[in-house]
């Protein structure tokens, strides 16, 4: 159960192949990185589409429909990120024991609160 040099985001610089809990978090994140970037590029395309619509004087209601779609895509991206965060960072904090789990859960709850209030 030695979490030596667990430091924030510090994976074995020197060479070791020891995979810590924290590394597991990073790996889980990496696995989905491409999917995240693809989603975000699609949202970027939607925002550029909105600029084109405004520029071409498209009917307001049709622009609003596109805004709703972009907002939904952003919320859906946030939800996936949150799921990974709970699975990796929050679960890891629980395994480590101590009070870190409380801090992590409070932090995640605040982030969810910010998403709800937008």
The residue count for the chain: 118
Q: Which is nearer to a second copy, 16 or 83 (CB)?
A: 83
Backbone angles phi, psi at 8, to 5 degrees: 15, -90
Kindly list the residues in this chain that would bind a second copy in the complex (CB under 8 A): 1, 3, 6, 9, 26, 29-30, 33, 36-37, 40-41, 43-44, 47-48, 50-51, 54-57, 59-61, 63-65, 67-68, 70-72, 74-75, 77-79, 81-87, 89-95, 97, 101-102, 105-109, 111-118
Rounded CA gap, 75 and 72, in Å? 5
Please state, as a whole number, how many other Cβ atoms lie within 10 Å of the Cβ of residue 50.
16
- Shortest Cβ distance from residue 96 to a second copy (Å)? 10
Please state, as a whole number, how many other Cβ atoms lie within 10 Å of the Cβ of residue 22.
20
- Shortest Cβ distance from residue 16 to a second copy (Å)? 19
């Amino acid at each position: 159960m030695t979490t030596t040099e667990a430091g924030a985001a510090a994976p074995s610089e020197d060479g070791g192949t020891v995979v810590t809990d924290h590394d597991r978090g990073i790996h889980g994140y990496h696995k989905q990185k491409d999917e995240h970037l693809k989603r975000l590029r699609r949202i970027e395309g939607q925002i550029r589409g909105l600029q084109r619509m405004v520029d071409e004087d498209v009917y307001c209601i049709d622009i609003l429909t596109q805004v709703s779609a972009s907002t939904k895509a952003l919320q859906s991206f946030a939800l996936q990120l949150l799921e990974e965060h709970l699975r990796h960072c929050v679960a890891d904090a629980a395994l480590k024991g101590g009070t870190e789990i409380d801090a992590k859960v409070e932090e995640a709850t605040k982030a969810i609160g910010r998403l709800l209030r937008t």
